[in-house]
Amino acid sequence: MSNLVNSNSDRKKKIAKDWFTDLRERFCKKFEEIDGTKFSRKNWNHSGEGGGEMSTLKGNIFEKVGVNISTVKGSFKEDFRNQISGTEKSASYWASGISVVAHMQSPFVPAFHFNTRFIETGKTWFGGGSDMTPAIPNKEDVEIFHNSIEKVCNKHNESYYGDFKKQCDEYFYLPHRNEPRGEGGIFFDHLNNNDFDSDFSFIHDFGEDTLDTMSAIIEKRMSKKWSKEEKDIQLYKRGRYVEFNLLWDRGTLFGLKTGGSTEAILMSMPPTAKWK
Amino acid sequence: MSNLVNSNSDRKKKIAKDWFTDLRERFCKKFEEIDGTKFSRKNWNHSGEGGGEMSTLKGNIFEKVGVNISTVKGSFKEDFRNQISGTEKSASYWASGISVVAHMQSPFVPAFHFNTRFIETGKTWFGGGSDMTPAIPNKEDVEIFHNSIEKVCNKHNESYYGDFKKQCDEYFYLPHRNEPRGEGGIFFDHLNNNDFDSDFSFIHDFGEDTLDTMSAIIEKRMSKKWSKEEKDIQLYKRGRYVEFNLLWDRGTLFGLKTGGSTEAILMSMPPTAKWK
């Protein structure tokens, strides 16, 4: 029985991890095509077992884009253990994921963030999200982005989009500014419908669609010229992005305060930001 | 008796507040002389009683400098009350202070931070500190800065400098980078030797000396030309400064999470910062 359970657990982990790795390749390939320059790669080791691979590109279209994957295992410290689902019987965890953060040269192209992950403690679940942070919001792009996510969600479960959009709006919010971080998207955690293959199918479609939609919006807007004033709007918007990530983003705070790879976690920082 | 207590309390508050206001005037006057441009002022109101005045200058020598004073009173919320000394019998507080943050155009001039404050809860005390964050540390400037503070400290109490320097090194530290924020200075809190006039005399000398020493270092280094590469060193150092302030600075987090003036608190943010 134990072998069956383990082999089933191993099968799920392998499916998730292999697809994260595969999706990373395709994000990098597509973004290299768009930019005309190449990603550089760097590995890091986790303090427990495993580690990650950062892919970073600073180019013509992408001022800075990171595509990170990681697969780690270990044991939560007591004080954090209580914050994590499924740790009643054991503090051990396994986690694998992909994370994409794109800060663009053009203030007319939104910054994009996407990540998804598969976690195993005493329970297993998927988490993830995708959201856009335009400096100068373009109604058409915002609609394309949201409509595309809604379509993918509805293909799998008609309650997903409304629920996950609401979670995104609540999560990516700066209370100290009374401002949303950007124009939203979706955010979800603890997704487990007791059917791994069905849940994975949603995650898969969501990730593939995000790659396509992001790329389409970037390609549509990237050639438009901008002024110094328009660039400054973007740089001040990035100041807010920094504030959100360092003050409020649970993932960033959790990673930094539990000995994650600072370099990989803070890959989300913009290349340049301004404050008034 | 109650009147005597109140009038003594009022006397202390008035002395502290008047000097903070006076010192603010002289910081602004001296920095305007150095820069050749003028500060602009803006008031804000506290959610309880009182408020503050921000003075900001973006000029030729100072890329951005803020000199803030504030005097506020109110009642701590229950969850914060326990973190504050002297709140056993009452949650009410009175606080007045001055805060200076200077980000310089030249990467050869250190960024400076100075603040001091007088607090009354069930207890009264002074807190404060002064520290330098050079992008390209110059041994001579670091020595001048530390020696000057040491001399002021020793005039009042020979244990102050060693004790307060250690607190500064511990406080202005980025655990996630294993890096100090800068080249240190002093940091202290809960200073009360049961002799207000003597404690105020130290605070006064410390503040006056900080104005003189900062100004002398700025004037000595501000005319040296710099390259784009040297400026970039400063901008990346400022990225670390942002990380410290938003991730670890108790004052910033406390202010932002208890409804302080976001604009006044985040005056400490540099005008521009970079991340790799």
Q: B73 lies in a domain?
A: yes
Low-confidence ranges of chain B (pLDDT < 50): 1
What pLDDT is attached to residue A253? Answer: 85
**Mean per-residue pLDDT of chain A:** 94
**CB spacing of A176 vs B257 below 8 angstroms:** yes
CATH classification of the domain holding A260: 3.40.1500.10
Q: Which domain holds residue A50?
A: 2-268
Q: A113 lies in a domain?
A: yes
Nearest CB partner across the interface for B271, out of A246, A270, A274:
A274
Q: How far is A234 from chain B (nearest CA, A)?
A: 12
3-class DSSP string for chain A? CHHHHHHHHHHHHHHHHHHHHHHHHHHHHHHHHHHCCCCEEEEEECCCEEEEEEEEECCCCEEEEEEEEEEEEEECCHHHHCCCCCCCCCCEEEEEEEEEEEEECCCCCCEEEEEEEEEECCCEEEEEEEEEECCCCCHHHHHHHHHHHHHHHHHHCCCHHHHHHHHHHHHCEECCCCEECCCCEEEEEEECCCCHHHHHHHHHHHHHHHHHHHHHHHHHHCCCCCCHHHHHHHHHHHHHHHHHHHHCCHHHHHHHHCCCCHHHHHHHCCCEEECC
Q: A275 lies in a domain?
A: no
pLDDT digits (tens, 9 = 90+) for B23-74: 999 999 999 999 999 999 999 988 888 999 999 999 999 999 999 999 999 8
pLDDT digits (tens, 9 = 90+) for A36-58: 999 999 999 888 889 999 999 99
Instruction: Give the total residue count for chain A.
Output: 276
For chains A and B, CB pairs below 8 A equal 53
Q: What is the mean pLDDT of residues A14-26?
A: 98
Catalytic residue among B46, B103, B113, B146: B113
Q: How far is B256 from chain A (nearest CA, A)?
A: 6
What pLDDT is attached to residue A7? Answer: 84
Q: How far is B201 from chain A (nearest CA, A)?
A: 35
What pLDDT is attached to residue A254? Answer: 76
pLDDT digits (tens, 9 = 90+) for A119-174: 999 999 999 999 999 999 999 999 999 999 999 999 999 999 999 999 999 999 99
For the question of residue B113 being annotated catalytic, the response is yes
Q: A274 lies in a domain?
A: no
pLDDT digits (tens, 9 = 90+) for A101-125: 999 999 999 999 999 999 999 999 9
What pLDDT is attached to residue A106? Answer: 98
**CB spacing of A272 vs B247 below 8 angstroms:** no
B270 touches chain A (CB under 8 A): yes
Q: A119 lies in a domain?
A: yes
Nearest CB partner across the interface for A247, out of B256, B270, B271:
B256
Percent of chain A with pLDDT over 90: 85
Looking at the structure of chain A, the number of domains it has is 1
pLDDT digits (tens, 9 = 90+) for A28-38: 999 999 999 99
A3 pLDDT above the threshold of 70: no
Q: B275 lies in a domain?
A: no
Q: B140 lies in a domain?
A: yes
Which residues on chain B are in Cβ contact (under 8 Å) with A253?
A: 247
CA distance B51 to B71: 6
Query: In this structure, what token pair is assigned to residue B6?
Result: 């109140």
**Catalytic residues of A, which ones?**
113
Angle between helices A2-35 and A196-221 (to 10 degrees): 10
Q: B8 lies in a domain?
A: yes
A274 touches chain B (CB under 8 A): yes
What pLDDT is attached to residue A79? Answer: 78
Which residues on chain A are in Cβ contact (under 8 Å) with B266?
A: 243, 275
What pLDDT is attached to residue A2? Answer: 54
